[in-house]
Amino acid sequence: MNFELDETQEMIRDSVRSFVAGRVSQPAMKWNEGHGDAREALCELAGLGLLGVLVSEKAGGAGLDVLTLAISLAELARGDAGLAAMVAHHNAVALGHLLAAGYDNKPQLQRFAQGDALLCRAASEGSDHLDGATITTTATKQADGAWSLKGHKRLVPLGNLASHSIVTAMTEAGPIALLVDLDAAGVTRTLSDTLVGLRTCDLADLTFEAVAVPEANFLGDAAAVASRVAALARITTAAIALGVTRAALAAGVTYSLERKQFGKPIARFQPIQWQTADSATELEAAELLTWRAAWQLSTSGATAHSVEKAAIFALESAQKVADRALQMHGGYGYTVDFPVERHFRDAATLRILADGPDVQRVAIAKGLATGANGVR
Amino acid sequence: MMDFLPNADELRIQGLARSYARGPLAERAAAHDAGAFPTASVLGLAGFGLMGIKSPVALGGLGGTNVAYVLAIREVAQVCASTAVTMAVTNMVGDMLLQFGTAAQQERWLRPLLTGAFTAGAFALTEPSAGSDAASLGTKAVLSDDGNTYALTGTKMWITSGDVAGVILVMAKTDADAGARGISAFLVDPASAGFSVGRHEQKMGLKGSSTVSLTFDGVKVPVEDRLGPEGIGFRIAMTALDGGRCGIGAQALGIAQASLDAVLASMAARKRDDRALGTDQAAAFRIADMATRMEAAWLMVLRASALKDAGQRMSREAAMAKVFATEAAGFVTKTAMGLASAADLRTDSPIGRAYRDARVARIYEGTSEVQRIVIARELVRAS
Ligand SMILES: Cc1cc2nc3c(=O)[nH]c(=O)nc-3n(C[C@H](O)[C@H](O)[C@H](O)COP(=O)(O)OP(=O)(O)OC[C@H]3O[C@@H](n4cnc5c(N)ncnc54)[C@H](O)[C@@H]3O)c2cc1C
pLDDT digits (tens), chain A, 376 positions: 788 899 999 999 999 999 999 999 999 999 998 888 899 999 999 999 999 999 999 999 999 999 999 999 999 999 999 999 999 999 999 999 999 999 989 999 999 999 999 999 999 886 544 444 578 999 999 999 999 999 999 999 999 999 999 999 999 999 999 999 999 999 999 999 999 999 999 999 999 999 999 999 999 999 999 999 999 999 999 999 999 999 999 999 999 999 999 999 999 999 999 999 999 999 999 999 999 999 999 987 767 799 999 999 999 999 999 999 999 999 999 999 999 999 999 999 999 998 778 888 888 888 888 876 566 6
Calculate the average pLDDT of chain B. 95
Q: What is the pLDDT of residue A17?
A: 97
Min Cα–Cα distance to chain B from A11, Å = 36
Element (H, E) at B152: strand B149-160
- Ligand 1 centroid to A331 CA: how many Å? 5
- Integer Cα distance of B278 and B52 in angstroms: 49
Segment A55-62 long-range contacts (CB within 8 Å, at least 24 positions apart): A55/A95, A55/A99, A55/A109, A55/A112, A55/A113, A59/A106, A59/A109, A59/A110, A59/A113, A60/A106, A60/A109, A60/A110, A60/A113, A60/A114, A61/A113, A61/A114, A62/A113
| pLDDT category of residue B112 using cuts at 50, 70 and 90 | very high
Q: What is the DSSP letter of A216?
A: G
Contacts of B131 in chain A (CB under 8 A): 261, 330-331
Is residue A70 within 8 Å of residue A238, measured between CB atoms?
Answer: yes
Which atom of ligand 1 has the smallest separation from the CA of B161? 8
**Phi/psi at B89 (nearest 5 deg)?**
-65, -40
The answer to whether the CB atoms of B275 and A327 lie below 8 A apart is no
C-alpha gyration radius of chain A: 21
The answer to whether the CB atoms of A195 and B359 lie below 8 A apart is no
- Integer Cα distance of A186 and A211 in angstroms: 5
CA neighbor of A305 nearest in space, from A364, A265, A262, A237: A364
Contacts of B210 in chain A (CB under 8 A): none
Domain boundaries, chain A: 7-113, 119-224, 225-370
Contacts of B282 in chain A (CB under 8 A): 358, 361-362
CA neighbor of A114 nearest in space, from A179, A47, A181, A180: A47
- Establish whether B365 is a catalytic residue: yes
- Ligand 1 centroid to B367 CA: how many Å? 6
More confident residue, B225 or B282: B225
The answer to whether the CB atoms of A262 and B126 lie below 8 A apart is no
Topology of domain B122-231 in CATH is Butyryl-CoA Dehydrogenase, subunit A; domain 2 (2.40.110)
Size of interface A-B (CB pairs under 8 A): 124
- pLDDT tens figures, B195-234: 999 999 999 999 999 999 999 999 999 999 999 999 999 9
φ/ψ region of B37 (left if φ > 0, alpha if ψ in -120 to 50, else beta) reads beta
| Domain A119-224, CATH among 3.30.70.370, 3.30.930.10, 2.40.30.170, 2.40.110.10 | 2.40.110.10
CA neighbor of A201 nearest in space, from A31, A336, A52, A50: A31
Which atom of ligand 1 has the smallest separation from the CA of B160? 8
- Integer Cα distance of A316 and B164 in angstroms: 40
- CATH 2.40.110.10 positions along chain B are 122-231
Q: What is the pLDDT of residue A270?
A: 97
- CATH 1.10.540.10 positions along chain B are 8-118
Min Cα–Cα distance to chain A from B218, Å = 26
Q: What is the pLDDT of residue A371?
A: 74
Q: What is the average pLDDT across B14-33?
A: 98
φ/ψ region of A145 (left if φ > 0, alpha if ψ in -120 to 50, else beta) reads left
- Integer Cα distance of B69 and B59 in angstroms: 17
- pLDDT tens figures, B27-73: 999 999 999 999 999 999 999 999 999 999 999 999 999 999 999 99
Percent of the residues in chain B that have a pLDDT greater than 90, as a whole number: 91
Is residue B367 within 8 Å of residue A330, measured between CB atoms?
Answer: yes
Angle in degrees, CA B224, B226, B228, rounded to 5: 110
Q: Is B131 on the interface with A (CB under 8 A)?
A: yes
> Which B residues, 343 through 382, put their C-beta within 8 Å of a C-beta on chain A?
343, 345-348, 352, 355-356, 359-360, 362-364, 367-369, 372
- Ligand 1 centroid to B123 CA: how many Å? 14
Q: Which residues contact B131 (CB under 8 A, 6 or more apart)?
A: A261, A330, A331
- Computed from CA positions of residues A70, A75, A78, A80, in that sequence, does the dihedral angle turn out positive or negative? negative
CA neighbor of B249 nearest in space, from B339, B159, B366, B138: B366
Interface test with B, best of A136, A256, A358 (most B CBs within 10 A): A358
- Ligand 1 centroid to B374 CA: how many Å? 14
Nearest CA in chain B to A341: B204
- DSSP letters of B164-201? TEEEEEEEEES-TTSGGGGEEEEEE-TTSTTEEEEEEP
Task: Give the CA-trace dihedral at B300, B302, B308, B309, to 10 degrees.
Answer: -160
Min Cα–Cα distance to chain B from A314, Å = 14
Min Cα–Cα distance to chain B from A50, Å = 28
Is residue B345 within 8 Å of residue A196, measured between CB atoms?
Answer: yes
The answer to whether the CB atoms of A128 and B341 lie below 8 A apart is yes
Fold match between domain A119-224 and domain A225-370: no
CA neighbor of A290 nearest in space, from A237, A344, A226, A228: A237
The answer to whether the CB atoms of A261 and B132 lie below 8 A apart is yes
The answer to whether the CB atoms of A129 and B342 lie below 8 A apart is yes
Q: What is the DSSP letter of A360?
A: H
Interface test with B, best of A30, A125, A196, A259 (most B CBs within 10 A): A196
Topology of domain B241-382 in CATH is Butyryl-CoA Dehydrogenase, subunit A; domain 3 (1.20.140)
- pLDDT tens figures, B131-145: 999 999 999 999 999
**Phi/psi at B308 (nearest 5 deg)?**
-65, -40
| Beta strands B120-124 and B165-173, pairing class | parallel
Topology of domain A7-113 in CATH is Butyryl-Coa Dehydrogenase, subunit A; domain 1 (1.10.540)
Q: What is the pLDDT of residue A2?
A: 81
User: Among A53-57, A144-148, B277-281, B338-342, where is mean pLDDT lowest?
Assistant: B277-281
Closest protein CA for atom 33 of ligand 1? A328
Contacts of A201 in chain B (CB under 8 A): none
- Ligand 1 centroid to B369 CA: how many Å? 10
Domain B8-118: homologous superfamily in CATH = Acyl-CoA dehydrogenase/oxidase, N-terminal domain (1.10.540.10)
Is residue A28 within 8 Å of residue A78, measured between CB atoms?
Answer: no
Contacts of A359 in chain B (CB under 8 A): 277-279
Percent of the residues in chain B that have a pLDDT greater than 70, as a whole number: 97
Min Cα–Cα distance to chain A from B211, Å = 10
Candidates A261, A323, A324, A328: which one to mutate for ligand 1, based on the most atoms within 8 Å of Cβ?
A: A261
The answer to whether the CB atoms of A196 and B277 lie below 8 A apart is no
Min Cα–Cα distance to chain A from B365, Å = 10
The residue annotated as part of the active site, out of B127, B365, B369, B378, is B365
Question: Can you tell me the ipTM of this complex?
Answer: 0.96
For ligand 1, residues with CB inside 6 Å are A 259, 261-262, 266, 269, 271-272, 327-328, 330-331, 334; B 89, 123-126, 131-132, 158-160, 203, 206, 211, 360, 363-367, 369-370
Q: Which residues contact B285 (CB under 8 A, 6 or more apart)?
A: none
- CATH 1.20.140.10 positions along chain B are 241-382
- For residue B80, the SS3 value is coil
Burial group, residue A231, by CB count within 10 angstroms (0-12, 13-18, 19+): buried
- Ligand 1 centroid to A363 CA: how many Å? 42
> Which B residues, 223 through 282, put their C-beta within 8 Å of a C-beta on chain A?
266, 269-270, 273, 275, 277-279, 282
> Which B residues, 305 through 334, put their C-beta within 8 Å of a C-beta on chain A?
330, 334
Contacts of B278 in chain A (CB under 8 A): 359, 362
Model's pTM, two decimal places? 0.96
Q: Where are the alpha helices (DSSP H) in B34-187?
A: 39-47, 66-79, 81-100, 103-105, 111-115
Q: What is the pLDDT of residue A366?
A: 85
- For residue A107, the SS3 value is helix
CA B318 to chain centre: 13
- Integer Cα distance of A317 and A240 in angstroms: 12
Closest protein CA for atom 53 of ligand 1? A331
- pLDDT tens figures, B289-326: 999 999 999 999 999 999 999 999 999 999 999 999 99
| Domain A225-370, CATH among 3.30.930.10, 3.40.50.20, 2.60.40.10, 1.20.140.10 | 1.20.140.10
